[in-house]
Chain A
Amino acid sequence: MTDTPKTAGEGVYLGTDITLALAARDEAPLHSDTTPGKWVKDNLFNSVMNSIITVVLGVAVIFLLTRAAQWVISEEWRIIQVNLRNFMVGQFPRDELWRLWWSAYVLIVGIGGGVGALAHNAEDDAREKGLEYKRSSWLDLLRRFWPVLAFVALMTSFARTWLPYVGVLVALALVVAARTAGWAMPAPVRARAVQFMAVAIVVSTVILAGTSGLVAIVAGLVAYFAVASETSRRFEGSDARSTLLRQLAPIVVGVAVWFVLDAVAVDGFGWEDWGGLHLTLFATVVGISTGMPLGILLAVGRRSELPVIKGFCVLFIEFVRGVPLISLLLFSSFILPLLFPLSVAVPETLTRAMIVITLFSAAYIAEIVRGGLQAVPQGQTEAAQASGMSAAKIQRLIVMPQALRAVIPAMVGQFISLLKDTSLIATIGVAEFFQYSAISNAQPEFLGKEKQIVTYSIVAIGYWAFAYTMSKESRRLEAQLGVGER
C-alpha cells in the first residue's frame, strides 16, 4: 500500500493500482525524447494515406482561417457598436443604467468575497482532515472563466465611450479585491460567507429593482435561512430552549424583514423594459434557482407512496414535458390573461414568462433528479433507517446528496439548454439577447445591408461563452466531488 494523499480539490481515490498507474502516467513526460519534427512525422505523416489527409486538411484549415481573418478585418462592425447597449441590456432606461452597474458591483463583491472565504474554509477543512488542498491561483480562475472574460472584452471593445471600459475595469478590480479580502477574513467571519453572499444578492436586487413586494418576500426568505443556519450552529443540543430558539428565531427574523421591506417598498422598478443579455442571464438564473428546488420536490413527490401526491407530480411532469416551451409561453402570454377575473391584476408578461420557465425547467430537473435517486442503492436508505433517522432526514442527508452528485452532468446539460431556451421568450414580444440580432438587422440604417452574419456571430459567441463556461465548471465540480467514486 502506498499512502497516496487524497487531494481535496480532486477528490478521486481510485484504489492503489490505478492510483499508481495514474501517478506514473502523470510523471512520465508526455512525449519523452520526442522533438516536434519527430512528433509530426509519427502522427501526421506516418503513412501515405495519412500524409495526403494531413495535407488536404491543412490546406482547408489555412484557407478557412485566412477567409475568417479577412472577413473580421474588412467587415463593418458598426451595427454592433450602434446597438451595443441593446444587446447588453435591451431597452433598460438609459438614465437608470447606473442601477445595473451598481447592482453588478454589489453582486461581485458579495459573490467574490464569499467565494474567497469559502475557498479558505475548504482549505482549513482539508487541513483538519489531513488532506492535500490545491489552492486555485488567479491563473486557474483565468483558465476556468476565460470564455466569459473574452466575451466581455470583445463586447467592451465595441464601446464608443470610455464608460464601459471603466466599468469593466472596476468590476475586475472588485473581483480581485473582494476575493482577496474574503480569503483574509478571520475564521468566525468566514464561517458566515453564505449569509454574506445572500445579503449581497438581496441588496443587489434592491438596487436593480427597487423594493417591491417580491423583493421583500425574497429578502424575508433569505433572512430566514441565514438566521436558521446561524442558530443551528449556536444552539446545538436537544434541550427545550435550544430547540425553541432554533425553530423560532429564523421565522421571527424572516417575517420581520419581509414586513419592514414590504412597508417601505417604494414602487418597484418594474422589469417591463428589461432585455438583452441581461434578461437572458437573469431568466436563466431564475429558471435554475427556482426550478431546482421545485424539481427536487417533484422528483421526491413522484416517488411518494401517497397516490394523490404521486399522481399530481406525474401529471405535472408529463404534461409540461409533453408540450413545447414555446406553446407554454404563448399560453401564458395570450390565454392566461383571459382567465384572470377582471378585478385581479394580471401579472406582467415577463413575470408570467419567468413562471413558465421555472415550471418548465422544474419538470425536466425532476426527471433528472429521479434518475439520480434511483441510482442510490437501497442499502443506503436501509442503513439510515436502521439507525432510527426520520424519512425526511434520510432523504435530505443521505439520499439526495448522493443522487445530486450522480446527475451533475445531466443537470448542467439541462441548465445549458435552459440558457438557450430563454431565447424563446422573444415569441411573446420580449426582446432578449438573441432577438436583438433580428432587431438590429431590421433597423433602417442596416436594412438590406446583409449584416445578419455579424449580429448572429456575436450572439452565437455570447451564448457559447456562457454555455462552455458552465460545461467546464460542471466537469470541475464532478472531479471535485469525486463522481464515479464509491
Chain B
Amino acid sequence: MTDTPTVNADATEIHGDGRPVIELTGVDKLFGSFQALTNINMRVGEREVVVVIGPSGSGKSTLIRCINRLEKHDRGTIIVDGITLSNDVRNIQEIRRETGMVFQSFNLFPHLTVLDNITLAPRQVRNVPKGEAEERAMELLERVKIPEQARKYPGQLSGGQQQRVAIARSLAMNPKVILFDEPTSALDPEMIKEVLDTMKSLANEGMTMICVTHEMGFAREVADRVVFMADGQIVEVGTPEHFFESPREERTQLFLSQIL
C-alpha cells in the first residue's frame, strides 16, 4: 500500500499495483442541454473495488453506463482493458463482452429459465457449446448459492435470488470488470444482505468492480476507494477510512451527514 491516496479529488490514482482496466479521461455527457457528466477523469485498476456514491441525479449511474456504451458520452476517451471505446459496433461489442453489468431492476429475461438466462450470452456471443455453458452456469449458481433454482423462471424467485442470478449471468462471460448499478436499491431490506454478501465474496476473490450504491456499510468494508460525485462531477476520492472519518469537501460532509 505504497501509494494509498488520501482524500482528494483525483480519481486516477489506482489503489494497489494493478494495471488500469478502465480509464476515463475528460469524459462529458449531455442529455440535451443538461450536463450529466463534466470532465470525469478516473482509472480503475485490476482487482480494485471502486464504490461510487453521491446524491441522486449526480451522474453515478450515467458514469458507469457510459463505460459499456449504454449511454454515449459526448467528449473525452474511455478505455476498457486496452480497447478505446468508439462508435464502431464491433468495438462496442468487444468492450461489452469484457464488462459485466448488474442492474437495479435485475433485468433477467422473464421468458427464459435461470439456467438459460445465464447460458444465453456465452452460447450466442462466444458460441460455447450448450453442455459446457450449462456446466459453467451451474458452477456460477453454486457460487451465488442458489444451484437449486436453475430450472425455475425468474418470476418464481425472490428479489434477492433474482439479483444473485443476475450476478451469475454477468459472470458467465468471464468479464474483466463488473459494473454494479445500485444492485440493492430495488430489494426488500431482508434480501439486501444476501446480495451484498455475494458481492463481497466476489471482491475477495479479486474481481474488479465499480459499484454505484447507497450501502455505506458495504463501501466501508469492501471498497478500495470511494468516489463521491455531485452534479456530474467527481468531488472527492479517498480510501473508506479517510472518506468516512475525515471528508474534506463541504459537499461531501453535507451528504454524509444526511445519510449516516
Taking Cβ atoms with an 8 Å cutoff, the residues of A that contact B are 6, 13, 128-131, 236-238, 377, 379-380, 382-390, 393, 397-398, 401-402, 405, 482, 485-486
Q: Closest CB of chain B to A376's CB: distance in Å? A: 10
B155 and A13 contacting across the interface, CB-CB below 8 Å: yes
Stretch touching chain A among B2-10, B25-33, B123-131? B123-131
20 A-B contacts (beta carbon < 8 Å): A129-B113, A377-B107, A380-B109, A383-B103, A384-B109, A386-B70, A386-B96, A386-B99, A386-B100, A387-B97, A387-B101, A387-B170, A387-B173, A388-B93, A388-B121, A389-B120, A402-B111, A405-B111, A485-B110, A485-B155
Q: Closest CB of chain B to A477's CB: distance in Å? A: 14
- A397 CB contact (under 8 Å) in B94, B124, B153, B166: B124
Q: Which residue of A lies closest to B156 (CB)?
A: A13
- B97 CB contact (under 8 Å) in A236, A377, A388: A388
* A131/B173 contact (C-beta < 8 A), A383-B107, A388-B97, A405-B111 known: no
Q: What is the 8 Å Cβ interface bit string for chain B, positions 83-105, against chain A (1 contact, 0 not)?
A: 00000000001101101110101
Q: Say yes or no: is B19 at the interface (Cβ < 8 Å to chain A).
A: no
A237 and B127 contacting across the interface, CB-CB below 8 Å: yes
Name the B residues within 8 Å of A129 (CB-CB): 113, 151
* A379/B151 contact (C-beta < 8 A), A129-B113, A237-B127, A237-B129 known: no
- B153 CB contact (under 8 Å) in A13, A128, A379, A387: A13
Closest 5 CB pairs of A and B: A238-B127, A387-B121, A383-B107, A388-B97, A129-B151
Taking Cβ atoms with an 8 Å cutoff, the residues of B that contact A are 68, 70, 93-94, 96-97, 99-101, 103, 105, 107-111, 113, 120-121, 124-130, 151-153, 155-156, 166, 169-170, 173
A390 and B93 contacting across the interface, CB-CB below 8 Å: yes
Name the B residues within 8 Å of A486 (CB-CB): 110, 155
A382 and B169 contacting across the interface, CB-CB below 8 Å: no
Complex Cα distance, B113 from A384, in Å, reads: 15
B151 and A387 contacting across the interface, CB-CB below 8 Å: no
Name the A residues within 8 Å of B173 (CB-CB): 387-388
Q: Closest CB of chain A to B60's CB: distance in Å? A: 16
Complex Cα distance, B112 from A402, in Å, reads: 10
* A130/B103 contact (C-beta < 8 A), A386-B96, A486-B110 known: no
A387 and B169 contacting across the interface, CB-CB below 8 Å: yes
* A383/B109 contact (C-beta < 8 A), A13-B156, A130-B151, A237-B129 known: yes
Complex Cα distance, B127 from A377, in Å, reads: 27
A386 and B68 contacting across the interface, CB-CB below 8 Å: yes
Q: Which residue of B lies closest to A402 (CB)?
A: B111
Name the B residues within 8 Å of A402 (CB-CB): 109-111
B111 and A236 contacting across the interface, CB-CB below 8 Å: no
- A128 CB contact (under 8 Å) in B70, B151, B166: B151
- Which of A237, A387, A402, A486 is packed against the most chain B CB atoms within 10 Å? A387
Complex Cα distance, B99 from A486, in Å, reads: 27
Name the A residues within 8 Å of B93 (CB-CB): 388, 390
Name the B residues within 8 Å of A379 (CB-CB): 103, 105, 107
* A131/B151 contact (C-beta < 8 A), A383-B109, A387-B173 known: yes
A393 and B107 contacting across the interface, CB-CB below 8 Å: no
Complex Cα distance, B110 from A260, in Å, reads: 44
Name the B residues within 8 Å of A13 (CB-CB): 153, 155-156
A388 and B96 contacting across the interface, CB-CB below 8 Å: yes
Name the B residues within 8 Å of A385 (CB-CB): 68, 70, 96
Complex Cα distance, B111 from A485, in Å, reads: 9
- A387 CB contact (under 8 Å) in B111, B125, B128: B125
- B70 CB contact (under 8 Å) in A380, A382, A388: A382
Name the B residues within 8 Å of A387 (CB-CB): 96-97, 100-101, 120-121, 125, 169-170, 173
Complex Cα distance, B175 from A388, in Å, reads: 11
Name the A residues within 8 Å of B99 (CB-CB): 386
Complex Cα distance, B47 from A95, in Å, reads: 81
Q: Which residue of B lies closest to A128 (CB)?
A: B151
Complex Cα distance, B121 from A236, in Å, reads: 14
B130 and A236 contacting across the interface, CB-CB below 8 Å: yes
Name the B residues within 8 Å of A236 (CB-CB): 127, 129-130
Could you list 14 further interchain pairs (A-B, Cβ under 8 angstroms) beyond the known A380-B109, A385-B96? Answer: A129-B113, A377-B107, A380-B107, A382-B103, A382-B107, A383-B101, A386-B70, A387-B169, A388-B96, A388-B121, A388-B125, A397-B120, A401-B111, A402-B109
Q: Which residue of B lies closest to A4 (CB)?
A: B156
Name the B residues within 8 Å of A389 (CB-CB): 120-121, 124-125
Q: Which residue of B lies closest to A14 (CB)?
A: B155
Q: Which residue of A lies closest to B65 (CB)?
A: A382
Complex Cα distance, B111 from A379, in Å, reads: 14
Name the B residues within 8 Å of A6 (CB-CB): 152-153, 156
Name the B residues within 8 Å of A377 (CB-CB): 105, 107
Q: Which residue of B lies closest to A485 (CB)?
A: B155
Name the A residues within 8 Å of B126 (CB-CB): 238
Name the B residues within 8 Å of A383 (CB-CB): 101, 103, 107-109, 166
Q: Closest CB of chain B to A215's CB: distance in Å? A: 35
Complex Cα distance, B68 from A21, in Å, reads: 44
B68 and A393 contacting across the interface, CB-CB below 8 Å: no
Q: Which residue of A lies closest to B117 (CB)?
A: A383
Complex Cα distance, B125 from A423, in Å, reads: 48
Complex Cα distance, B110 from A236, in Å, reads: 25
Name the A residues within 8 Å of B130 (CB-CB): 236
Q: Which residue of B lies closest to A12 (CB)?
A: B155
Name the A residues within 8 Å of B97 (CB-CB): 387-388
Q: Closest CB of chain B to A345's CB: distance in Å? A: 45
